[in-house]
Amino acid sequence: MKRAAYEKQGGICKKCGKPFAFEDMEGDHTIPWSRGGKTDAANCQMLCRACNREKAGK
Protein backbone atom coordinates (compact mmCIF):
# COMPACT_ATOMS: atom_id res chain seq x y z
CA MET A 1 0.00 0.00 0.00
CA LYS A 2 2.79 2.42 0.84
CA ARG A 3 4.58 1.41 -2.33
CA ALA A 4 1.42 2.04 -4.37
CA ALA A 5 1.10 5.52 -2.87
CA TYR A 6 4.76 6.16 -3.55
CA GLU A 7 4.42 5.14 -7.19
CA LYS A 8 1.30 7.24 -7.59
CA GLN A 9 3.11 10.33 -6.31
CA GLY A 10 6.13 9.57 -8.48
CA GLY A 11 8.42 9.58 -5.46
CA ILE A 12 7.55 13.20 -4.64
CA CYS A 13 6.87 14.23 -1.06
CA LYS A 14 3.32 15.59 -0.83
CA LYS A 15 4.38 18.37 1.47
CA CYS A 16 7.73 19.75 0.35
CA GLY A 17 7.52 18.61 -3.29
CA LYS A 18 10.99 17.09 -3.39
CA PRO A 19 11.81 13.62 -4.71
CA PHE A 20 12.89 10.96 -2.23
CA ALA A 21 13.79 7.29 -2.27
CA PHE A 22 11.05 4.96 -1.06
CA GLU A 23 13.16 4.03 1.94
CA ASP A 24 13.38 7.68 2.98
CA MET A 25 9.64 8.21 3.02
CA GLU A 26 6.96 7.26 5.49
CA GLY A 27 3.28 6.60 5.06
CA ASP A 28 0.88 9.20 6.37
CA HIS A 29 -2.88 9.11 6.77
CA THR A 30 -4.47 12.09 5.05
CA ILE A 31 -7.38 11.85 7.47
CA PRO A 32 -6.24 10.68 10.92
CA TRP A 33 -7.81 7.57 12.39
CA SER A 34 -9.11 9.70 15.22
CA ARG A 35 -11.22 11.63 12.73
CA GLY A 36 -12.62 8.60 10.94
CA GLY A 37 -9.90 8.07 8.34
CA LYS A 38 -9.65 4.63 6.82
CA THR A 39 -6.58 2.54 6.26
CA ASP A 40 -6.70 2.35 2.48
CA ALA A 41 -4.78 3.70 -0.48
CA ALA A 42 -7.10 6.69 -0.94
CA ASN A 43 -6.28 7.88 2.56
CA CYS A 44 -2.56 7.20 2.31
CA GLN A 45 0.10 9.64 1.21
CA MET A 46 3.84 9.49 1.40
CA LEU A 47 5.86 12.18 3.16
CA CYS A 48 9.60 12.40 3.63
CA ARG A 49 10.74 11.75 7.19
CA ALA A 50 11.33 15.43 7.96
CA CYS A 51 7.82 16.45 6.86
CA ASN A 52 6.19 13.51 8.60
CA ARG A 53 7.94 14.35 11.83
CA GLU A 54 6.99 18.00 11.51
CA LYS A 55 3.34 17.11 11.00
CA ALA A 56 3.35 14.72 13.94
CA GLY A 57 4.84 17.38 16.16
CA LYS A 58 1.96 19.81 15.68
Residue closer to Zn ion by CB (options 11, 37) is 11
Q: Which H or E element spans position 7?
A: helix 2-9
Is the alpha carbon torsion for 11, 23, 16, 31 positive or negative? positive
Q: Cα separation of 40 and 5, whole Å?
A: 10
Residue closer to Zn ion by CB (options 16, 41) is 16
Could you tell me the smallest distance in angstroms from the CB atom of residue 36 to Zn ion? Answer: 25
Binding positions for Zn ion, 1-58, rule CB under 5 A:
13, 15-16, 48, 51
Instruction: Summarize as ranges the residues that interact with Zn ion (CB under 5 A).
Output: 13, 15-16, 48, 51
